[in-house]
Structure 1
């Protein structure tokens, strides 16, 4: 999908052989450099087909929050630079740009191509207006669920609307006139609110009933994420008005899609799948949950989470809906 849509960008770009590319929400592991490598290979391949005659030169800006461990990436760079040199796909220079992408990061008309994967479903903050007369509106939940009132959904949507429009406005200012963005984030089907956060909320309700966590902590905790549907994303892009939506697709992915089932010589049962999903999401969610519920409960929480997932796997298909979209800057 990236290759198909970058043909448009490479074709319409005033070619001088130099590409400024930003990866927003890059994280800190080797996956970051996988993205860089993929983009370099694709641009080089398309440039060769178009007979540009010279190898492209790449300037990559890796962005994440100020607390991100950029040093882990930097330590991988010598080997990465050597690998790309041997592949002869063009020169590459990599910088870090720490900061919050719900706001400005770069000068005007500066970046040729923005990439972001699995970041924009995270909100800048949890919705603030989830209480009425000091009573929580989403009592017993940490995210939108089937039992949540319409006002809870509306609060989450309005926060996503503010954040996403601010993101688009900021990127419009920073993109070159022929620039493009590719964004991938977790969405949902129009009426489906089944989520990992919902299962975590179910486990938290159990530990509250047993007196292991105070009920007030659960009632006051609101998860700072929102999974939009395709219609909401289309509408917000049109309303904000800075970009033309060239392509948008949804892709389904199992919650344990990263479990390499084909490379093991034993049967992967529901218990093992539940444990894998629990570890995978603990790595992502634990810092937030520690802030809300304390560190002492984490082992018990994710142990129960794994068991509940193992039970759910037996009765329903647990899948993410991924939204992938490509937009170009309106002149």
Structure 2
């Protein structure tokens, strides 16, 4: 699977779009607000730069894409008012993979700027917004051009499926009936995912270290786990239930068993210890804070059906959220024709699980500072 070419959130603003199904990600952004404000004020503690470079990595599309940028600019403008100094020039870069729906973001920019000015009295005449398509596991920006980097709900996506899981020398049934780490996964599968995350996160840190000014800050939030055990339910059970939905379709002959056994998600939810280890090993950043928060699988917000104005079942809300994120990959591998049935079945399984259990994602939020050297 070529993740760079395949992975993107569902485009547009239809019922299965990411724009309509990103409440969980919005909640995650909210948990990072204190860390973002603290980091921005840390950058401005001595003086306000004349021009400030800001990058949002994994910006996706929909209402969340400009939410963080708006909050960052609000913080900076407020700080400048307190210091009685002019606001800086803003160089804002929105990054995601090439398949991202950048067009929809830029179509909303004029209305976004107008609303900001009307509601907050903030002029954006010196704000320059650009799209940067490419993987954040490589270089994206010129040397020492960024003051603040933000990324939310993105770094749990790997640049590729761990190579050992796609090797012809390894049987596809190595992780039989599963699409990610599971209690039944052999140790070599767990190790392969961990190594791939370590390699990716190290590449991410090295790239940003070259692109950021000394004293620049990064605030990163992504799915993870609080335990060192990668097979805990908080880490992977939403994938386990999706695998159950697929297996039920294998049993009915709707999907070939080999198709299921050969799919592995390019995803990894790390624990804090793994993150600390890679940051310390790379050596360019100081950890300022590292927190974790629990987020309900369905975002904790009731959504109404479009036809009867009745609340959707929790399983339906979870399934819509997951579908908006993973459908591009699943459609390529399993075929477009089964998508509706797959996520209907997944919704039923999730609803049954949530009727007996509470379920939360673990969201990690880390703030780090670029060293002077």
TM over 0.5: yes
- Residues 245 and 328, structure 1, Cα contact 8 Å, conserved in 2: yes
Provide, for residues 149-186 of structure 1, a one-character-per-residue CA deviation record: whole Å limited to 9, x for no partner.
Answer: 11111000111111110000000000011211110100
Work out the CA distance in 1 between the residues paired with 2:62 and 2:157: 19
Question: Could you say what secondary structure the match of 2:223 adopts?
Answer: strand
Q: What are the residue-to-residue correspondences of 1:20-99 with 2, within 5 Å?
A: 20-49=53-82, 51-86=83-118, 87-91=120-124, 92-99=127-134
- 1:296 matched residue in structure 2: 337
Report the CA distance between 1:237 and its aligned residue: 0.9
Provide, for residues 119-144 of structure 1, a one-character-per-residue CA deviation record: whole Å limited to 9, x for no partner.
Answer: 00000011110258441321111000
- 1:209 matched residue in structure 2: 251
| 1:189 equivalent in alignment to 2:226 | yes
Provide, for residues 88-120 of structure 1, a one-character-per-residue CA deviation record: whole Å limited to 9, x for no partner.
Answer: 435322111111111000110011110111000
Q: What are the residue-to-residue correspondences of 1:263-282 with 2, within 5 Å?
A: 268=311, 272-282=313-323
Compare 3-12 and 200-209 and name the one that shifted more.
3-12
Work out the CA distance in 2 between the residues paired with 1:28 and 1:77: 12
Query: Which ranges in structure 2 are unaligned for 5 or more consecutive residues?
Result: 1-33
| 1:162 equivalent in alignment to 2:195 | no
| TM-score for both structures, normalised by structure 2 | 0.83
- 1:10 matched residue in structure 2: 44
Work out the CA distance in 2 between the residues paired with 1:113 and 1:274: 37
The number of equivalent residue pairs is 325
Question: Could you say what secondary structure the match of 2:198 adopts?
Answer: helix
Work out the CA distance in 2 between the residues paired with 1:189 and 1:45: 35
Question: Could you say what secondary structure the match of 2:236 adopts?
Answer: coil
- 1:173 matched residue in structure 2: 210
| TM-score for both structures, normalised by structure 1 | 0.93
- Alpha-carbon RMSD across the aligned residues, in angstroms, is 2.0
Residues 88 and 57 of structure 1: is their aligned pair in 2 closer, same or farther, counting only changes over 3 Å?
Answer: farther
Give the number of the structure with larger relative contact order, counting CA–CA contacts within 8 Å between residues 6 or more apart. Answer: 2
Report the CA distance between 1:307 and its aligned residue: 0.5
- Residues 151 and 220, structure 2, Cα contact 8 Å, conserved in 1: yes
- Residues 145 and 212, structure 2, Cα contact 8 Å, conserved in 1: yes
Work out the CA distance in 2 between the residues paired with 1:110 and 1:79: 28
- 1:252 matched residue in structure 2: 294
- Residues 141 and 198, structure 1, Cα contact 8 Å, conserved in 2: yes
Query: Which ranges in structure 1 are unaligned for 5 or more consecutive residues?
Result: none
Counterpart among 216, 229, 234 of residue 276 in structure 2: 234
